[in-house]
Amino acid sequence: MRGRLFLPGIPIVALVLTAVWADTVRRPPLLELGELASAAEPGEELSGGATTVVDAGRNSFGRSPMNLDRARWPDFHHGKKVFARDWSDPRKTPVPVGPLFSAASCMTCHVKDGRGRPPASPAEPPVSIVFQLSASGGRGPHPSYGEQLDFHGVGGSAGEGSVTVDYDERSDEFASGESFSLLQPRYTFKHLARGPLGEGVPFSPRVAPVNFGLGLLEAIPEEALLALADPDDRDQDGISGRPNQVEDVAERRTKLGRFGWKANQPSVLQQSAHALFADMGLTTELFPGQAGSAPEVTPEDLERLLFYTRLVAVPRRRNWDAPPVLRGKAVFRAIGCSGCHVSTPFETGDVPGFPELSRQRIFPYTDLLLHDLGAGLADGRPDGQASGQEWRTPPLWGIGLVEAVNGHTRFLHDGRARNLEEAILWHGGEAAPTQERYVRLPREDREALLAFLNSL
């Protein structure tokens, strides 16, 4: 053995050179990050400003805000009860869900105030994912099934139908040689109560998003978001976010859409009242259904529900100042993720009645604008001004805790991505150049970026 060290130099040099050469072919260089790779910014771990809670455990998505006055704790807990209430249980509610509904409580879909997922196998029925429908051609509700396929009928009777999900798998590789694979979902509608959906009927599978930080998102001044819009891509960076403009039913005017996967709802009030109506078959003052009858959900219950839904707190980041995470944040900016998932903070405005949410410095990592993410993710179903290829940039705060809270890592609007990396790899359209840069990164930089996402 020992003698080998003293072999004549030439073959060893050749061997080393071959190894180095082979290594550079398969190993793209680390990104030159320069001043991007800097120290943590003061306060950046407090994603939700003073509302932020320090909890990285299984219940970290359903907490009251840190700055909630003690006197308001009971209101928060009453609100949580309404959010968790099973409206199909006659002991808990005088009004029944239905006659048709997708789920009997908000919590069924927004599991532990976290996110839903698609069925794990074709044998499992869909629970925390909905299928929104349109008329053929894409405008207006479906003539037989309305805006959404309701899986259940009241009292255990049959709903409108069900859906099974299968996947086609395809593989590709990173520039550095490792392979990856992505799952393309395929849906089959079954047991349809009123006949087939029909030709050319677009549908949109959507998992329930997380239920925290929503009052803060609502409090970002409209001007701050509109300032990020660049519909004609004047700065020529390939990214052209634009606002969805939707009807605010209560205010009777058009307003910036902020909520839902296509930003089709302007406020927590309208999104929640719409959920009661569309997901659960319950009327409110805002969505009264048949004219004349009193709303099934009392104004007091709706008030409590909104108090809760606005205030549920954002969890604090973990390891935000660890060197690989700081590197990952710099990679995130350098390859263009922050072109949509804005990495600089917003300052919320004044929210009447909610001092907790007012003037907070927050890091949601979204512009709440619509972006064309390409044909691969398209549902082909227009929604407000959003096209079939456009989606709202989802907030990324708390995303690293989904596994701890929900026990899965299914991402994107239909939950097709099995982890954060697959979510990135599905990005196309305006995000295609960024996605390509990600594929060309060396493994260390990809890992740093994922460590950063997991720290959010």
CB 237 within 8 A of CB 339: yes
Q: Report the partner that residue 279 touches, choosing among Ca ion, ligand HEC, none (CB closer than 5 to 8 A by kind).
A: ligand HEC
Q: Which CB atom, from 24 or from 53, has the smaller least distance to ligand HEC? A: 53
Q: Which CB atom, from 199 or from 409, has the smaller least distance to ligand HEC? A: 409
C-beta of 188: minimal distance to Ca ion in Å?
A: 18
C-beta of 84: minimal distance to Ca ion in Å?
A: 24
How far apart CA 343 and CA 396 sit, in angstroms, is: 10
DSSP 253-321: EEEE--BTTTT-BS-HHHHHHHIIIIIT----SSS-SSTTSPPSS-HHHHHHHHHHHHHPPPBPPSSTT
Q: Which CB atom, from 42 or from 184, has the smaller least distance to ligand HEC? A: 184
Q: Which CB atom, from 17 or from 124, has the smaller least distance to ligand HEC? A: 124
C-beta of 235: minimal distance to Ca ion in Å?
A: 5
Cis upstream peptide for 266 (omega within 30°): no
Q: Report the partner that residue 358 touches, choosing among ligand HEC, Ca ion, none (CB closer than 5 to 8 A by kind).
A: none
Category of 359 on φ-ψ map: left (φ > 0), alpha (ψ -120 to 50) or beta? left
C-beta of 3: minimal distance to ligand HEC in Å?
A: 51
Q: Report the partner that residue 230 touches, choosing among ligand HEC, Ca ion, none (CB closer than 5 to 8 A by kind).
A: Ca ion
Applying CB under 6 A, the residues found at the interface with ligand HEC are: 102-103, 106, 108-110, 130, 206, 208-209, 214, 239, 259-261, 264, 268, 271-272, 275-276, 279-280, 305, 309, 332, 335-337, 339-341, 371, 373, 377, 391, 393-394, 396, 399, 411-413, 420, 423-424, 427, 430-431, 434, 438, 453
How far apart CA 131 and CA 151 sit, in angstroms, is: 10
C-beta of 143: minimal distance to Ca ion in Å?
A: 11
How far apart CA 438 and CA 433 sit, in angstroms, is: 9
- Confirm or reject binding of residue 150 to Ca ion (CB under 5 A): yes
Hey, which residues between 229 and 268 contact Ca ion (CB under 5 A)? 230, 233, 235, 237, 239
Token pair listed for 56: 């990285």
Residue 352: CB atoms within 10 A of its CB come to 6
- Confirm or reject binding of residue 44 to Ca ion (CB under 5 A): no
C-beta of 393: minimal distance to ligand HEC in Å?
A: 4
Q: Report the partner that residue 336 touches, choosing among ligand HEC, Ca ion, none (CB closer than 5 to 8 A by kind).
A: ligand HEC
C-beta of 22: minimal distance to Ca ion in Å?
A: 39
Q: Give the E-state strand segments of 191-244 in sequence order.
A: 203-207
Q: Report the partner that residue 106 touches, choosing among ligand HEC, Ca ion, none (CB closer than 5 to 8 A by kind).
A: ligand HEC
Q: Report the partner that residue 364 touches, choosing among Ca ion, ligand HEC, none (CB closer than 5 to 8 A by kind).
A: none
Category of 49 on φ-ψ map: left (φ > 0), alpha (ψ -120 to 50) or beta? left
Single out the segment in contact with Ca ion by CB under 5 A; choices: 66-74, 149-157, 212-220, 357-365.
Answer: 149-157
C-beta of 1: minimal distance to ligand HEC in Å?
A: 47
CB 356 within 8 A of CB 68: yes
C-beta of 159: minimal distance to Ca ion in Å?
A: 8
**Nearest C-alpha neighbor of 369 from the set 253, 146, 220, 186:** 220
Q: Which CB atom, from 150 or from 379, has the smaller least distance to Ca ion? A: 150
How far apart CA 402 and CA 215 sit, in angstroms, is: 20
C-beta of 146: minimal distance to ligand HEC in Å?
A: 14
Name which position in 76, 83, 131, 145 contacts Ca ion (CB under 5 A): 145
C-alpha torsion 6→11→16→20, nearest 10:
170
* Nearest-10 crossing angle of helices 73-84, 299-311: 100
Q: Which CB atom, from 18 or from 227, has the smaller least distance to ligand HEC? A: 227
C-beta of 309: minimal distance to ligand HEC in Å?
A: 5
Residues 181-220: x where in contact with Ca ion by CB under 5 A, - otherwise, as a string: ----------------------------------------
The length of the chain, given as a count of residues: 456
**Nearest C-alpha neighbor of 425 from the set 138, 179, 91:** 179
**Nearest C-alpha neighbor of 169 from the set 417, 378, 375:** 417
Token pair listed for 119: 């069925």
Q: Which CB atom, from 117 or from 152, has the smaller least distance to Ca ion? A: 152
Identify the burial level of 444 via C-beta atoms within 10 angstroms of its C-beta, where 0-12 means exposed, 13-18 middle and 19 or more buried.
middle
Q: Report the partner that residue 309 touches, choosing among Ca ion, ligand HEC, none (CB closer than 5 to 8 A by kind).
A: ligand HEC
Count of residues binding Ca ion (CB under 5 A)?
Answer: 8
CA angle 270, 275, 278 (to 5 degrees): 115
Per CB under 5 A, residues contacting Ca ion are: 145-146, 150, 230, 233, 235, 237, 239
